[in-house]
Structure 1
Amino acid sequence: MDWDKLRIFYAVADAGSLTHAGESLHLSQSAVSRQIRALEESLGSTLFHRHARGLILTEQGELLFDATSAMARRLDTAVARIRDSVEEVFGELRVTTTTGFGSLWLAKRLPILYQRYPELKIDLMLEEQVLDLPMREADVAIRMKEPSQADLIRLRLMNIKMRLYATRSYLEARGTPATPEDLSDHRLICQNTSSAQVAAGARLVRELMTYNIPSTLTVNNYFGVLQAVLNGLGIGVLPDYVTEDHPHLVRVLDTIESHDVPVFLAYPEELRASRRIAAFREFITEQIMEKRQRDKDTPQM
């Protein structure tokens, strides 16, 4: 099999266009077209359906694209491991975590990491979907449960809890609930129990809904819940780490909270020696240790 033709095929399939693939490969459209035709002839199969809007893979093309995609990921891994053998920490690091943790806790701490390693390029992917680390959909993940995928190195960072919070000004204007039944006089801001979230958070919301709360606002991530709480719309269900950066939030009904939610750092076994991974792991663990110390030094309200 001609590796050069496979490289060109992968570029075309990924771009969906001969022209765009040619631009990325620095080849003319006609040269790319000739290579694709030659590959199809050697395989005895049509790899693309051609129409005015671009190219669509045939069933045979999909099979070949899956194989070349896996090859590209392994090559990327090999290149990353080779580059990680030098002393400097640089290059791309793809980090995946939830929208809430990434936007409310991680992003605002990244300047510390960039100050240490100014040539690092971080691709921060915030989503509830669990990406496949062994398949290199990301390099490192921070997840709100222990990863189940094989061939991963796991590090438990901390536990968090979901609790009720409101602004001091909101409570001064609307009153502070003394019992769970008093929540019926307030608007509850939370994630919908059917949206992607940690199970402990969903269970807590279901329990709160049994108190006949007439007005609610549901948002599909904790960043949105926090913004609504900060704007005085009601009492919100939020992870406890938000209070570190928003000290004017007041905890409501101290006896109500979720079960512990474990937070794990995970990355593929094959990246064990990566200097970028090591730098990120060291940065995260330092930040967690500092948070624990601040929590210890802060008197309970």
Structure 2
Amino acid sequence: MDWDRLKTFYHVATAGSISRAMDTIHLSQSAITRQIQSLEHSLKTKLFKRHTKGITLTEQGSYLFEETEKIFADLNSIEKKIVEYKSVPTGNLSINTTVAFGSMWLSPRINEFIHEYPEINLKLNYSEDEQDMLRQDYDIGLWMRKPRHLDLVSKHIATIKYHIYGSANYINEMGMPLRRSELNSHRLITYGIGKPSPLSDTNWILKTGVKKNQKNRRPHITINNLYGLLVAVETGAGLAALPDYMAQHKAHLVKVLPDIEGPSYDVHMVYHENLKGSLKLIAFRDFLMNKISQWRF
């Protein structure tokens, strides 16, 4: 089987279209088409179904893609281990985590990491879709739940707790609630429709302190991501339940009803089995655990 044709097939199948694959493998559309046709001819089977809106894999194509993925994963692992024969952690390290945790916790600390390990090149991907790590072959995921994939290694690194927060200006305007029932007279901001939250009860602020025979509170604003909630709270739009790490260094934010602790969730460092022993992974893990040990929530 021709290796170049197999590589072309892999990139087209990964991209989901010939036009998108062109950006990755830098071949013309006609050259890619010829290579796919030659591969299909040599295998005596169709690998793609052609549609007006694009292409999809046939049953034989899906099987070949699964096997080819394993080959590429092995090759990437070999390449990474060869590069890391040096005693100093070096090379590319890609990390996938959520938008909120990445933007508000990881990014402010990355400068320290690159100063400590200048030969590691970082690629950070902030997304609410954990499947990005599997599809795009990221080295490390900082996930808000334990992975269900058996080929991923998971290490618990932190537990994130939630409290209710408001801005100092909002509290001066509306007053500080001293009891849960007083939340009824405040503007509440909650998580809206969007990607699933790691919390089992995302909008617990609407029901805390509400009696069984009473209706839950209604939100004044709903926003579909945590960073948006934070900004709304900072500008005085109302009160919201936020993870403590987002408010840690926000001097103008006030913890409301501090004795009321909302649901919590665990953060896991997730990586592929074949990266065990990787110097750059160990470097990032140790750095991460050191920073997490300094949390004061």
Is the TM value for this pair above 0.5?
A: yes
The DSSP-based 3-state class of the residue aligned with 1:125 is: strand
Structure-2 residue corresponding to 1:124:
124
1:117-141 per-residue CA deviation (whole Å, 9 max, x = no partner) reads 3343323232333338688743112
**Aligned-residue RMSD, C-alpha:** 3.1
Q: Return the alpha-carbon distance in structure 1 between the equivalents of residues 281 and 45 of structure 2.
A: 42
Is 1:72 aligned with 2:76?
no
CA contact (8 A) 2:206 2:218 kept: no
Name the stretch that deviates more: 202-211 or 103-112.
Answer: 202-211
Q: Return the alpha-carbon distance in structure 2 between the equivalents of residues 66 and 145 of structure 1.
A: 26
Amino acid at match of 2:175: G
CA contact (8 A) 2:189 2:222 kept: yes
Name the stretch that deviates more: 169-178 or 142-151.
Answer: 142-151
1:19 Cα offset (Å) = 9.9
Structure-2 residue corresponding to 1:257:
261
Amino acid at match of 1:196: P
Q: TM-score, normalised by structure 1?
A: 0.82
Change (3 A) 1:87 1:47: same
CA contact (8 A) 1:200 1:258 kept: no
Change (3 A) 1:214 1:120: same
The one of 278, 282, 290 equivalent to 1:274 is 278
Q: Return the alpha-carbon distance in structure 1 between the equivalents of residues 218 and 32 of structure 2.
A: 63
Q: Return the alpha-carbon distance in structure 1 between the equivalents of residues 31 and 144 of structure 2.
A: 49
Amino acid at match of 1:35: Q
Aligned residue pairs: how many? 292
1:135-177 per-residue CA deviation (whole Å, 9 max, x = no partner) reads 8743112222333433444332222211100111110011111
Is 1:94 aligned with 2:98?
no
Amino acid at match of 2:292: I
Change (3 A) 1:221 1:178: same
Structure-2 residue corresponding to 1:204:
204
Structure-2 residue corresponding to 1:44:
44
Structure-1 residue corresponding to 2:104:
104
1:236-289 per-residue CA deviation (whole Å, 9 max, x = no partner) reads 110011232212211101222124422222223321111121111121111112
Q: Return the alpha-carbon distance in structure 1 between the equivalents of residues 134 and 54 of structure 2.
A: 32
1:225 Cα offset (Å) = 0.7
1:65-108 per-residue CA deviation (whole Å, 9 max, x = no partner) reads 33323322332222122222223333322212222211211111
Q: Return the alpha-carbon distance in structure 2 between the equivalents of residues 196 and 19 of structure 1.
A: 28
Is 1:219 aligned with 2:223?
yes
1:196-227 per-residue CA deviation (whole Å, 9 max, x = no partner) reads 11225526345339475344222222111101
CA contact (8 A) 1:193 1:206 kept: no
Structure 1: gaps (5+ residues): 296-301
1:57 Cα offset (Å) = 4.2
The DSSP-based 3-state class of the residue aligned with 2:114 is: helix
Q: Return the alpha-carbon distance in structure 2 between the equivalents of residues 37 and 152 of structure 1.
A: 35
CA contact (8 A) 2:207 2:217 kept: no
Change (3 A) 1:170 1:57: same
Is 1:246 aligned with 2:250?
yes
Q: Return the alpha-carbon distance in structure 2 between the equivalents of residues 95 and 42 of structure 1.
A: 39
Name the stretch that deviates more: 275-284 or 241-250.
Answer: 241-250
1:14 Cα offset (Å) = 4.2
Structure-2 residue corresponding to 1:187:
187
